[in-house]
Structure 1
Amino acid sequence: MSTRAETVEFLTDQLSALPTIRSRKMFGEYCLYCDDKPVAFVCDDELFVKPTDAGREYLGDPDEAPAYPGSKLYFRVSGDRWEDREWLTALIDLTAAALPAPKPKKPRK
């Protein structure tokens, strides 16, 4: 089962206070980017945030699960938390701040 576009539209709308939030479709699922950093995946209409120490502290006792078969563990954010725009925005913002800057792309030949 793949993620519905409406799910990603809802999440990006909830995160619209972050000016650099964007999504990209990947293999029927989606990746959410903030400051050009991949911060979360939306798989099967579920939100999986990249694990960071700051995110773990913010969440307290996070629900950890693979985003897709064979993936490492991510913080699964239940759908009822998506409604809290400020809470969700803070989680994604602190996750982006904790991740390293993206590597510069190599020029094409």
Structure 2
Amino acid sequence: MASDQAFVDFILDQLQPAGPVSARKMFGEYGLYWDDLLFALVCDNKLFVKPTAAGRAYLAPALVEAPPYPGAKPSLLIEEGLDDRAWLQQLVRLTVAELPPPKLKKNKAK
């Protein structure tokens, strides 16, 4: 089941003041980006944030990990707190600070 654009827009609205956040459609679902850094997925109208040590510590003891789609690595499933803008923005800031920079794309030889 694909995510609703309204849910994605709600998440973006909650995160927008935190920094340069955007969404891109991916295989019927959405990837959330901080500049060019993928930090979360929206799948089946659920928010999955990439796991980091700081993110896990921030969510403890209510930490829930689950794969966003079959065969995927587990991510931090965020179901509670979506309405708390400051809390959600802090989670994203902590996560983005620990993620490695995006890999540069290599130009294919012609």
TM-score interval for Structure 1 and Structure 2 normalised by the shorter chain: over 0.9
Length-normalised TM-score, structure 1:
0.93
Is 1:24–1:32's contact at 8 Å kept on the other side of the alignment?
yes
Matches within 5 A, 1:18-97: 18-61=18-61, 62-78=63-79, 80-97=80-97
Greater than 3 Å deviation, 4+ residue runs: none
Number of residue pairs the alignment of both structures matches: 108
Tell me the CA shift for residue 7 of structure 1.
0.5
Structure 2 stretches lacking a partner, 5+ long? none
Q: 3-state SS of the aligned residue for 2:33?
A: strand
Compare 50-59 and 98-107 and name the one that shifted more. Answer: 98-107
Length-normalised TM-score, structure 2:
0.92
Q: 3-state SS of the aligned residue for 1:51?
A: coil
Q: Root-mean-square deviation (CA), in Å?
A: 1.2
Identity of aligned residues (%): 50
**Equivalent position amino acid for 2:24 in 1:** R
Tell me the CA shift for residue 55 of structure 1.
0.2
Structure 1 stretches lacking a partner, 5+ long? none
Tell me the CA shift for residue 38 of structure 1.
0.8
